[in-house]
Chains A and B, each alone.
Chain A
Amino acid sequence: MAIFSMTRPELRKKIALQGIAFIIVGAAFIFLWNTLKKTQAANIQTPSSSRISGTLPSLLSDLNLILPISLLAVLFGVAFAFYLEEWLPTTSKVRSFIESQVAFFVEIPSLLYGLLAITVLFSYADVSKEIGTPPIQNINEAGLAAIPLQHNIAMFYAETLVFIFMVIPVAIKTTQEALRSVATPIRESAYVLGANHWQVLANRVVPLALPRILAGGCRAISRSLAVAALLIGVHIPGTRGIPDRFMLFLGGALLLSTISSFLIEIYVPATARHG
């Protein structure tokens, strides 16, 4: 937010300072990368003896799986939040319905979505049969695991479900809050000059809300990465199906999160409206 209230010399100073921070972080990252490359498969055991192992291929596979679709999901969520917040009137029933649904899905821990995804994977592609010999054995030239088509489709379903219920609500909620954070007088003082809705959004609202929108997008994507971490944990060699204790856990967590999201839905908006 502060970047838009700065004069040019201030901005230059800020960019220089951030450049230093960027170099430090970059150096740290390269150091970390080299260390991780040396560890190879010492600590991270792939289920069977595969030709590749180590951090880099796993990392790339993860990003390859997650980044494209999560970027799409975040874009969709942001666009949808703009529609809800800027075009639907506050009295609209559609808006209050969608907002209550979003509030619900935001509260559910990402762990549960991972289990949802794994359920889909198990039931549509029957991954369980091949869990001992995962598809990571087939490596293409890019160093990425070539996944059979059947699994690809199942993964697509699983991912889509996870992203619809997990990433998009977070993106919607954070974007809406970012748009609300821009004070009404700022909008009004642009409107009284004869600006139309699009001009007010593009020139006045989005520049102020952008940092918060981007932060919300990062939060949404990091949530999808958390699911990936969970999948690694559940992907235990030799396991067939979802263990009973996970199902038990799923039920309990779902119950708890339902109660908490209802409490938040009832109390927080009421106080926020009158505040």
Chain B
Amino acid sequence: MQTKKKGPILSIHNLNVWYGDNQILDSLSFEVQPRQITALIGPANCGKSTLVRCFNRLNDFTPNFRFNGEILFNGKDMYKKKTDVTAIRKKIGMVFRKPEPFRCSIYENVAYGARIAGINQASQLDAVVQKSLQRSGLWDEVEPILHGNPEQLSIGQQQRLCIARALTVEPEILIFDEPCGELDPIETVKIENLMRDLRNDFTLIFVTNKRRQAARVSDSAGFLYCGELIEFGSTEKIFTNPQDTRTEQYVTGRLG
């Protein structure tokens, strides 16, 4: 488990991102504090996903991706040459909007991360799988069908399976890219409670376009609009006393 650090775990300085000639993000700067839930809110197509995909270098696969600026992870520039990208991705996990279980059993889905990390003994794998599933609150539901097909699970359960899968590699930061975008309200509540539990052990970055959800769950929040970070601060401040008129309009529902 990660030791508590005083400084920010992730700091972004003057980040610019282009796809070809199209500028997606325009000089963003903010800091993510450890063991907190940081929400990034904003309307669709404002660059939220592009931003979080910069944090684990998933944008490297996007053709025409250009990057300018600095992202420090634990004080180290993660875009420096000779950076071990897979090591960074192990430390910074991610859960996508649409749950995408691998086409193998539930057990193998969860065990895959551990296998990649080099754990191959059956007893160790069993322990890791059980721990991750318990943490994501899925153990009681899937224990009898552990070697069954994940497609028989509901979409909310599949999403929690994906969270369990991300937990096996013991990341420091866990990015949730609109995890409730496809879920019904009951499953959404389960995921939100799960995120509150996970805050004790992980740093969470949470992308959403639902204002109320961000207000319920997060500790600090940033409002993105058309590629610019309009405002960043504690959730309370953003939602009760915003400095920028656009933020006020967005959180009160008059914009976006």
Contact = CB atoms under 8 A, between A and B. Distances in A.
Interface of A: 4-8, 89-91, 183, 185-186, 188-196, 199, 203-204, 207-208
Contacts of A5: 103-104, 149, 151
24 contacts: A4-B104, A5-B103, A5-B149, A5-B151, A6-B149, A7-B149, A8-B147, A90-B63, A91-B63, A185-B98, A185-B100, A186-B102, A189-B96, A190-B102, A192-B56, A192-B58, A192-B94, A192-B166, A193-B90, A193-B116, A193-B169, A194-B86, A194-B116, A195-B86
A189 B162 contact: yes
A89 B63 CA distance: 8
Given A7-B105, A89-B63, A185-B100, A192 B149 contact: no
Given A8-B147, A186-B102, A189-B162, A194 B96 contact: no
A193 B113 contact: yes
B87 interface: yes
Given A5-B149, A7-B147, A192-B89, 20 more contacts: A5-B151, A7-B148, A7-B149, A89-B63, A90-B63, A91-B63, A183-B100, A186-B102, A189-B100, A189-B162, A191-B89, A192-B94, A192-B166, A193-B112, A193-B113, A193-B116, A193-B165, A194-B86, A194-B169, A207-B103
A191 B148 CA distance: 24
Interface string B106-139: 0000001100110000000000000000000000
A94 to B, nearest CB: 15
B143 to A, nearest CB: 16
Contacts of A193: 89-90, 93, 112-113, 116, 165-166, 168-169
Nearest to A199: B116
B64 interface: yes
- Return the 5 tightest CB-CB contacts between A and B, nearest first: A194-B90, A192-B94, A5-B103, A193-B113, A185-B100
Interface of B: 56, 58, 61, 63-64, 86-87, 89-90, 93-94, 96, 98, 100, 102-105, 112-113, 116-117, 147-149, 151, 162, 165-166, 168-169
Given A91-B64, A188-B58, A203 B112 contact: yes
A18 B147 CA distance: 23
Residue from B61, B98, B102, B166 whose CB has the most chain A CB atoms within 10 Å? B102
Contacts of B103: 4-5, 207-208
Given A91-B64, A185-B96, A186-B100, A194 B149 contact: no
